[in-house]
């Protein structure tokens, strides 16, 4: 079971080293979940003497006024008999103290380093580990003594500040309260009992210790503790010594869940004479064994019994809390990792590191952008909708019938013939009719290019918003967005040029085979003797546009080859080739080289310019550093718990 206390000791030291003191903050705290024993008492209650008796060493600062001004986490480690005793401070990890007078001085010096010499207090604990064959495995937290008056050099608020600090420690549900009260004072005024009852009214977490039992002199007034809290009666100490304190130690007065423990401290004269702690323990045992009022209680009295009882009690509490602590640690690690992931990685210091960071972030953005286009993420399907719905609908809306109206046909045919009317077929007229109709397809083609460009831009904005790493660097986010949009603009211009060239190609060269089967009058039973001018009548012109086999203007090849059927054939062909051109020039290039120009320009930047791209909110940087430290703490605690084989 001793390894359980050692486990908590390690985690407590890690908490202090990584800034977790249990104070209220925006970060999760592990300190509060760890079972601990906090020593509470007023000034001159004998609190320091109890701790020194438990340790068996004289090592705590002494003096008038408020001596303990920072919490002291005292971790006791039992070592083999005959081994030399020594002490170590967490803030001096490679230094061993074998002179305990030097330990006292270091506690004072470390307190002053944190609080200055103004006698202020601080909640940042000092960690002291003592290794000795004369101790049990135990951890105690010595808190500043409760006081009622500020001493010279301290603000008037010091009284309330100390009380607030003590309450902040002992109000936590995992804190065991060791309430130190002197037996030679009115228990009704005990600072330790008063504040303990406020935070633990049922006494479930409170262990009571009575000090200075041997100092109760006759004639001194005291309180009948059996009636504590209701009515008060006064007796002489001669009566109290034999009855009231005995009742209290027997658990018949001011009951707590756990029995009270009485201790006999060294007197001031003993301290002045440097009486050995081992000798003081022996005298304490003799006192309880020889005093009639306490003889029957002697086996569970004294500082040695107190230490063993506390160790056993702490072990039991730790064992019961370990599963909950493990669950809390696992949950908090997941939460910390999630938030750190959202905040992104810290900035590299050197130019190469900054360049790598920028390239890596851009790669992540580019990957997300490609996933949108490839259908892994939503958005790319809208491009297909342009090809499958918008472009065909736009082509259908083209009014070829206006282009091929009788009036327009007559005008173009006669103009094309010039002074010499055509002999067999109005070839130039055909060309002009076809060109004037096909050229109208440029509008839908250009609109398709613009529509896809708009969708590609939308996907850029979406990919940027989904690239978590870009959120922490506003300047880089703007630059990447601008660079991507500029690339898309260039691709759009290239695509528009290529797509419109497809339309222009159809205008510039007609498919000859299509017209080699033009119907002749003789073939159709016509009269070849008609006047040349009869070829400009409505019946003849109508044959140029359509045939008796063409029933609609859909993009179909009918038996008869006419202007309208040729235009429809071209329309059908372009409906398939325009999407190919757009995909090749825009979509494909966006996947291949969206940020190529940005990378080229990036390589020309100086370190200062690179740094400007990676500027981020200082609050985010501080938060990330704090979260990283706290995550380190929780992972360390997780590893420590996993490594301990504790019995169930």
Question: What digits encode the pLDDT tens for the residues 186-209?
Answer: 777 788 888 998 999 888 889 989
- pLDDT at site 508: 86
Which of 149, 143, 151 minimizes the C-alpha distance to 39?
Answer: 143
Contact 589, 484 (CB under 8 A): no
Q: Is the pLDDT of residue 242 over 80?
A: no
Q: Is the pLDDT of residue 35 over 80?
A: yes
Share of the chain above pLDDT 90, in %: 25
- pLDDT at site 90: 86
How many Cβ atoms are within 10 Å of 558's Cβ, its own excluded? Answer: 18
247-261, 340-354, 438-452, 502-516: least confident range = 247-261
- pLDDT at site 593: 94
- pLDDT at site 245: 62
Rounded-to-integer distance, Cα 94 and Cα 88, Å: 8
Average pLDDT over residues 483-512: 93
Prediction pTM value: 0.60
Q: 234 or 4: which carries more pLDDT confidence? A: 4
pLDDT band at 352 (very low <50, low <70, confident <90, very high): confident
Q: For residue 87, what are the contacts with CB-CB under 8 A and spacing of at least 6?
A: 59, 96, 97, 98, 100, 103, 128, 129, 130, 131
Average pLDDT over residues 137-154: 80
Rounded-to-integer distance, Cα 311 and Cα 304, Å: 11
Q: Three-class SS of residue 543?
A: helix
295-299, 320-324, 410-414, 641-645: least confident range = 410-414
- pLDDT at site 250: 62
Sheet containing 138-142: order of strands: 92-97, 86-89, 126-132, 72-78, 138-142, 36-41, 175-182, 206-211, 261-262
Q: Three-class SS of residue 254?
A: coil
Q: Return the top range by mean pLDDT from 99-108, 208-217, 274-283, 604-613.
A: 99-108
* Cα 131 to Cα 57, 277, 527, distances in angstroms: 11, 16, 128
- pLDDT at site 228: 37
Rounded-to-integer distance, Cα 37 and Cα 311, Å: 10
Which of 623, 597, 598, 628 minimizes the C-alpha distance to 610?
Answer: 598
Contact 244, 253 (CB under 8 A): yes
Q: Is the pLDDT of residue 368 over 90?
A: yes
How many Cβ atoms are within 10 Å of 478's Cβ, its own excluded? Answer: 13
Q: Three-class SS of residue 89?
A: strand
Work out the mean pLDDT of the chain and round it to a whole number.
79
Q: Is the pLDDT of residue 345 over 50?
A: yes
- pLDDT at site 124: 85
pLDDT band at 477 (very low <50, low <70, confident <90, very high): very high
Q: 148 or 211: which carries more pLDDT confidence? A: 211
* Cα 254 to Cα 201, 258, 301, 446, distances in angstroms: 12, 11, 17, 93
H helices present in 509-604, as ranges: 512-515, 538-545, 563-582, 588-593, 596-602
Q: Is the pLDDT of residue 422 over 70?
A: no
- pLDDT at site 400: 66
Rounded-to-integer distance, Cα 56 and Cα 171, Å: 29
40 - beta bridge partners? 179
175 - beta bridge partners? 36
390 - beta bridge partners? none
- pLDDT at site 424: 53
- pLDDT at site 156: 76
Q: 271 or 330: which carries more pLDDT confidence? A: 330
Contact 246, 270 (CB under 8 A): no
Question: What digits encode the pLDDT tens for the residues 41-59?
Answer: 987 788 888 888 888 888 8
Which of 267, 284, 255 minimizes the C-alpha distance to 193?
Answer: 255
Average pLDDT over residues 519-543: 49
Rounded-to-integer distance, Cα 203 and Cα 85, Å: 36
Q: Is the pLDDT of residue 384 over 60?
A: yes
Question: What digits encode the pLDDT tens for the residues 555-588?
Answer: 333 322 377 788 888 999 999 999 999 999 999 9
The secondary structure of 482-512 as a DSSP string is HHHHHHHHHHHHHHHHHHHHHHHHHHHS--H
How many Cβ atoms are within 10 Å of 195's Cβ, its own excluded? Answer: 21
Q: Is the pLDDT of residue 251 over 70?
A: no
Question: What digits encode the pLDDT tens for the residues 593-632?
Answer: 999 999 999 888 888 888 888 887 788 888 888 888 888 8
Average pLDDT over residues 119-147: 87
- pLDDT at site 448: 97
Kindly provide the residue ranges of all beta strands, DSSP E only, lying in 155-298, ordered along the sequence.
175-182, 206-211, 222-223, 234-235, 261-262
- pLDDT at site 359: 92
Rounded-to-integer distance, Cα 388 and Cα 392, Å: 7
């Amino acid at each position: 079971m001793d390894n359980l206390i050692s486990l908590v000791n390690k985690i407590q030291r890690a908490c202090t080293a990584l800034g977790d003191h249990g104070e209220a903050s925006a970060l999760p705290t592990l300190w509060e979940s760890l079972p601990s024993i906090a020593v509470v008492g007023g000034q001159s209650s004998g609190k320091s003497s109890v701790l020194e008796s438990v340790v068996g060493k004289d090592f705590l600062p002494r003096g008038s006024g408020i001596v303990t001004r920072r919490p002291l986490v005292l971790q006791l480690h039992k070592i083999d008999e005959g081994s030399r005793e020594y002490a170590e401070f967490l803030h001096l990890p490679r230094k061993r103290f074998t002179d305990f007078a030097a330990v006292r001085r270091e506690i004072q010096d470390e307190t002053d380093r944190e609080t200055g010499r103004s006698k202020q207090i601080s909640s940042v604990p000092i960690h002291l580990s003592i290794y000795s064959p004369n101790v049990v495995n135990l951890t105690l937290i010595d808190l500043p003594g409760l006081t009622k008056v500020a001493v010279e050099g301290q603000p008037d608020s010091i009284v309330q500040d100390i009380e607030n600090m003590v309450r902040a420690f002992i109000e936590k549900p995992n804190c065991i309260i060791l309430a130190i009260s002197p037996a030679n004072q009115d228990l009704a005024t005990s600072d330790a009992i008063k504040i303990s009852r406020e935070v633990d009214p049922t006494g479930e977490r409170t262990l009571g210790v009575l000090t200075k039992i041997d100092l109760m002199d006759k004639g001194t007034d005291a309180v009948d503790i059996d009636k504590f809290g209701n009515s008060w009666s006064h007796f002489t100490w001669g009566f109290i010594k034999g009855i009231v304190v005995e009742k209290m130690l027997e658990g018949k007065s001011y009951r707590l869940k756990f029995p009270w423990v009485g201790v006999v401290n060294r007197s001031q004269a003993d301290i002045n004479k440097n009486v050995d702690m081992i000798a003081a323990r022996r005298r304490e045992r003799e006192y309880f064994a020889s005093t009639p009022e306490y003889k029957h209680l002697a086996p569970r009295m004294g500082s040695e019994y107190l230490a063993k009882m506390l160790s056993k009690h702490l072990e039991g509490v730790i064992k019961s809390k370990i599963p909950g602590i493990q669950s809390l640690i696992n949950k908090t690690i997941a939460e910390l990792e999630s938030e750190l992931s959202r905040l992104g990685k810290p900035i590299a210091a050197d130019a190469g590191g900054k360049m790598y960071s920028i390239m890596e972030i851009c790669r992540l953005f580019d990957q997300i952008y490609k996933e949108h286009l490839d259908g892994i993420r939503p958005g790319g399907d809208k491009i297909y909708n342009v090809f499958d719905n918008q472009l065909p609908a736009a082509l259908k809306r083209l009014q070829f019938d206006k282009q091929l109206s009788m009036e327009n046909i007559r005008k173009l045919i006669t103009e094309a013939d010039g002074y010499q009317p055509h002999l067999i077929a109005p070839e130039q007229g055909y060309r002009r009719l076809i060109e004037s109709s096909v050229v109208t397809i440029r509008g839908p083609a250009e609109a398709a290019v613009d529509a896809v460009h708009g969708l590609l831009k939308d996907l850029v904005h979406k990919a940027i918003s989904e690239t978590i790493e870009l959120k922490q660097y506003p300047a880089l986010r703007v630059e990447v967005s601008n660079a991507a949009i500029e690339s898309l603009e260039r691709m759009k211009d290239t695509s528009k040029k290529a797509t419109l060239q497809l339309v222009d190609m159809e205008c510039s060269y007609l498919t000859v085979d299509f017209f080699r089967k033009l119907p002749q009058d003789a073939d159709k039973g016509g009269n070849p003797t008609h006047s040349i001018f009869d070829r400009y009548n409505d019946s003849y012109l109508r044959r140029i546009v359509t045939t008796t086999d063409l029933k609609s203007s859909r993009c179909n090849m009918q038996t008869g080859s006419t202007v309208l059927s040729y235009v429809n054939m071209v329309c059908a062909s372009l409906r398939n080739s325009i999407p190919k051109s757009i995909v090749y020039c825009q979509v494909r290039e966006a996947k291949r080289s969206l940020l190529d120009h940005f990378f080229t320009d990036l390589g020309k930047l100086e370190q200062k310019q690179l740094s400007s791209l990676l500027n981020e909110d200082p609050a985010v940087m501080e938060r990330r550093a704090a979260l990283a430290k706290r995550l380190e703490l929780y992972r360390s605690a997780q590893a420590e718990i996993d490594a301990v084989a504790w019995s169930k």
